[in-house]
Structure formats: C-alpha cells, structure tokens
Amino acid sequence: MAALAGKGEPKREVERMKRECGMLLPVASLPSKYGIGAFSKEAYRFVDKLAEAGQQYWQILPLGPTGYGDSPYQSFSAFAGNPYFIDPETLVEDGLLTQEECDGADFGEEERDIDYGRLYKNRFPLLKKAFLRWKNRQKRLGEDGIRMFLEHSLSPETREYCFYMAVKNDFAGKSWVEWDEDIRLRDVVAMELYRQRLDEEIQFYEFQQYQFERQWGQLKRYANRKGIRILGDIPIYVAFDGADAWAHPELFQFDEDGHPEAVAGCPPDAFSATGQLWGNPLYRWEYHEKTGFDWWMRRMEYCFRLYDTVRVDHFRGFDEYWSIPFGDKTAERGHWEKGPGLSLFQAMEKRFGHLDIIAEDLGFLTPSVRKLVQDTGFPGMKVLEFAFDDTEDSDYLPHKYDENCVVYTGTHDNDTLQSWYGSLEPELRQFTVNYLGNPWTPRGEVHWDFIRLALQSKARLAVIPVQDYLGLGNWARINEPSTLGKNWRWRMKEEDLTPELLKKCRKLAKWYGRAAKKVQAEEKQKPLKE
C-alpha cells in the first residue's frame, strides 16, 4: 500500500497488481472425524489441494472462540483462538492424549454437520486431560515456573481472555454484566482473589491458547511454504459478552455501571423494515484517538500474526456507524454517528507500514464511504450474486470493476450459486443469460459460468467458495443472516475435491492469468482442453 492520501492531497495511483485467485472455506468446514474442522492432517491436505489447483489464497472466517449462536463474528475475545480447532491427533502425537480417548469421545456421526452441543460437552473434558498431563510433565518447573512459561507464551490480551473465561465459568457461563459487582467492575482486591482461587482454571485456558497458537502457526507456515497465503477476517466490533468489553470498558460507550449507552446495528432497508440490531458495544472513538488508537494497533498486530491478509468486516462503520439506543428492540430509532475515518488507517500505516487489508464495503455506500476506501487504497469487494439481483445499473457487474478489488461469486453470508440461481425471478435469470451469453448451459453446470466470469474479470483477486466449485445447493450454505440454529454447520467431505475438479480449477486459474508462476510454467505446453 502506498502512502495514504491525506486531506487535500490528490488521489494516489493504484500500483499494478498481479492477478491471483483463492478458495473460501472456514476451518470449521474442513473434514475431520472429531466433529469439526481443525488444524489436522485434513487441513494440511487441503493446503496441498489448493496448491495443486493453482490457488494462492485460502480465505477463512474469524478464528476466535465462539459462544451462543456459534458465530465466528461474536467471539469471546479479539485476541484469542477457538479451542475447537486444536487437533486431538496432534495431542496424541505429543503424548498428551491416547487414541482411545479421542475415539471414545462423542462428537456425532454426521460427516456433513457440526453438532456444537456435543462439541461443547465433550471437547473440553478431552482438552482438560491433555492439560493435566502436560502440567504433570512440566512439574519440574514448579507452579511458578509453569505460570511464568504460559505468561511468556501469550500476549497480555490473550491472558485477559483466559481470566475472563475462568470467571465466566465460575458464574455458570453468565455474561460479565451479571457477575457480582466487585468482579464485574474489576475491583483490585476482587481481581486478585479470583486469580488465586481460579488459578488452575486460568492455566487450563492458557494451555488451550498455547496449543492453538502452536498448531495454527505450524499449519500457516506449511501453507506459506506451499505458496498459499492465509486471508483472514476480523469483525469491526467485539461481542458484549467478551473479555475485551469487560477488561477495557473505557474503550466503549458504557455508563459507570458497565451498561451500554448505545449498541451497533444497521438501519432499515429493502431487506429489513426494522433494520438489524446486532447489539455489539460501540467504540468511544474520541478515547481511541487520544491513545493513538493503541488498542487497534495491538489488535492488528495480533491479526497479522494469524493471517497474511485481513478482510475487515463492515468497513463503512469506520466512516459512519449506526448508533441504536440501548434497550431498543429494533434498529429503527438509530442514527448515524461519525467514525474515526482515515486517521485510524494513517496511524496503522505509521506504525506498521504496508498492511495487506481488504475492505468489506458491501451494501449501500455513501460518497464519504467510497472516498474512505479510495483514500486508504485498500481493495474493496464485489459479489456476483449482488450484480444480478439488481439491474444493469449494478456496480457489481464485472464490466464496471477496476483492478483494485476482490471478486467473489458469493460470501459466507450468501446462498450457494446453484441455490441462488434457482431462486431468481424469471426476468433476473434472463438478465444473467443475456449478460453471460449462456442460453445452452445445462442447469446443473451454470455455476461454472459464474466462476469463469469472476476469474476473467479485472479484479486483482478472485475468491470462490468451495461450495460453488462443488455446485452444491442451499443445504451447504454457511450462514443465513438474522437466523439461528442452522448456521456455521456445513462441512466438506475429504472426497469432495476430486483430482478431476482440482485439475479443472488449475486450468481455469492458468487460462485467466491467475495461477502462480510455477503453475503457469507447468501448464504452458499443455493443450487447451478441460
């Protein structure tokens, strides 16, 4: 990223970028016999398949620990990883679990589905066994030595999460707003008493984070050696029920008792007459600016340890955000407030230099939002499904793209291509036929036409969800916004990505100039056949 444009400065020229492509698959959706995708041998094999398919990116969803509703966008901390992703078989290799203990845990029999209830009930007892054996192995260090080892292995913010979860468990899983007043308001004496009494439980959570960072670091390094970059994702907001809100109330629009003055959401629109009430705490941006955006600097530092590239969700919230009075049942009475704008990203550039960020700039965009994205130089997002849900005026139609953007057939919030196409009104479906010139494409193959459209576009990066490459229906959808109980559950099977499919992906990446140099060279002399 070149220097960000300041007020009154001319727009910078976007440097010419190479064309690349990748696949979107949440870690949770990887195959595994332990109920959910993890940093397991299946993850390493998926990386191998990405490289074989000529891809350069693996896009995932946020890696944070999830709570009620299982959404990765409502995490208990912005500085912690999901313990569900710790691979049990790696712990077996480390001598911390037995294969019999892993095989004996009940995670459900359905290969395509994640049963979060079973995971919650059975994953933590398994991890607890591993922790106790690990601790026994370290007994030569003594309690102080073990405590010091974990302290030096994790960031202060990650350790705040571990303390938070230990106290939360002590209060039967209740959010911090329902704790006793002394610990809720972080009284110094109470904090020390809880630390002493819950020392072992805190260590258990620190052990989880140590294993998470260790296993993920190994997988990420393997991916990077294979030429695969990790495209991560961070929500703009944090959860109210989380360590960040409890440990740093000064960062948020809270009153003296820790209750929100206002919460986040989106205004009413064509899709929702009452808007969207997310309920996340809103930032006290004037405080952040006074501290030089210190918390955000630490957050981005943590993110770029996990990811090579970061997609920032709800980017327009940095320009303006929808503020809803706390206690309202809908988002209707909200109003727009100014966010930090360019100053936050100028502070980031001053601190870190170039940051590989993608701005999630979907939805209704005002001129000021467009200017913010332009001034940062970050690539924005284009979604093909949005292009054909509208008319010829849509900004998501590929002939309107510039190079500095990322194109998707759909995101984790969209229906699969096959299901979306089947649900189109006849006139809109005819519009897609006219635009693509594909009246003879069989219905079951139409997803390939949209994939080609994305890959051949001018966008610097094209990311295709794995479900779209597989041509799957609505049952494989990751998330349907504003619904509960059926989201974040779909899983891929090991045999889904066949050698034939990977070969086709590789050829398409090569034909449209998106394959890695090595792949381009290997494919150069081959005939142009699928």
- SS3 category, 197: helix
DSSP annotation string for 112-180: TB--HHHHHHHHHHHHHHHHHHHHHHTGGGHHHHHHHHHHHHS-HHHHHHHHHHHHHHHTTT--GGGS-
Task: Pull the structure tokens for residue 517.
Answer: 């140099």
Which one of the listed residues 403, 413, 496, 522 is annotated catalytic? 413
Within 476-527, strands assigned E span: none
List helix spans (H) across 342-401.
342-352, 367-376, 384-387
Is 375 in the active site?
A: no
HSE of 88 in the Cβ direction (CA atoms, 13 Å)?
Answer: 26
Q: Look up residue 442 and give its DSSP letter.
A: -
Is 413 in the active site?
A: yes
Task: Pull the structure tokens for residue 473.
Answer: 């229906």
Is 144 in the active site?
A: no
| Residue whose C-alpha is closest to residue 455's, from 122, 48, 29, 53 | 53
| Residue whose C-alpha is closest to residue 80's, from 236, 254, 207 | 207
Which one of the listed residues 313, 319, 375, 415 is annotated catalytic? 313
Between strands 262-266 and 320-325, the pairing is antiparallel
Which one of the listed residues 241, 360, 361, 415 is annotated catalytic? 360
440 exposure class (CB count in 10 Å sphere: 0-12, 13-18, 19+): exposed
- SS3 category, 69: coil
Query: Contact 467/5 with Cβ under 8 angstroms?
Result: no
Residue found under tokens 């405590």? 147
**Cα separation of 49 and 53, whole Å?**
6
**Cα separation of 463 and 231, whole Å?**
10
Query: Contact 266/316 with Cβ under 8 angstroms?
Result: no
**Residues annotated as part of the active site:** 313, 360, 413
